[in-house]
Structure 1
């Protein structure tokens, strides 16, 4: 089975392949395939895309996604990320896993304060997206 990752925003986002600053991490942002339309119910935002990359474990895929967010999301905006197994897009999200990352205040969840100069690297080293989890990332 494949763990799919979806992102949603209040505005249209650029599509394509994006690398992180190390050129090692890669993320693809694609239009939402019709077969995944039901996943839109998980989001509060109108523009939903599929994020393809290694986001189920800490590492360069996470770094690439957060680099993308830091470039394409303006200060004061947020983006939502939801992950689920292929074929389980209609399953209810697990509200216990809801999570917020504040890039401006350098707060990862409730208990982790990030280093201003290394925040994306720190996130890439310790964070990953879980099945049926909704993560709100605020810039």
Structure 2
């Protein structure tokens, strides 16, 4: 899973999804196979963990193996509805989920880091597809982002926006910004 955006020491930009009904939680979009540890090709790098520590006791253990960095990118959705701090979030929907993935793309990123751009496009596409699959026409969901220690701070209404899924085309620019509430409609 790609790292979350960070701000200073121990600060993470968290993203939340609000819904009027329960949604499936879990991991989505990862592409992997299982292989025994003994069958996974090992690096010749002398500082690689398998060259420093004897891991032969893991030889028959199955591990997830990703063919590419893009295969290792995906969407994580966790239900946070019942957690006590959930009430501090500025989401008006009764069901709330923490979402993790890479949710920023830009033209500069496409030029300077094409892989990061493609990972971002994949994660954003997975999120929007998941929302589309679990909304009926006329319904809405909310996405809200904030730094982990700033749950109680007001959102920035200048950043608020509405995204109508049937009309939306993912281009070269997309970002879930701090203190932003996005109402997604269908």
Q: TM-score, normalised by structure 1?
A: 0.77
- Note the C-alpha offset of 1:29: 0.9
Gaps of 5+ in 1: 107-113
- Note the C-alpha offset of 1:39: 3.5
Match of 2:180 in 1: 133
Q: Call closer, same or farther: CA 1:25–1:77 in 2, change over 3 Å.
A: farther
Gaps of 5+ in 2: 1-10, 31-69, 106-119
SS at match of 1:137: strand
Bigger share in strand: 1
Match of 1:30 in 2: 78
**Larger radius of gyration between Structure 1 and Structure 2:** 2
Structure 1 moving runs of 4+ over 6 Å: none
Aligned positions of 1:11-90 closer than 5 A: 11-19=21-29, 25-32=73-80, 34=83, 36-40=85-89, 42-55=90-103, 57-58=104-105, 59=120, 60-90=122-152
Aligned length in residues:
121
- Note the C-alpha offset of 1:38: 3.5
Asked whether the equivalents of residues 38 and 90 of structure 1 are also in contact (C-alpha less than 8 Å), the reply is: no
- Note the C-alpha offset of 1:86: 1.0
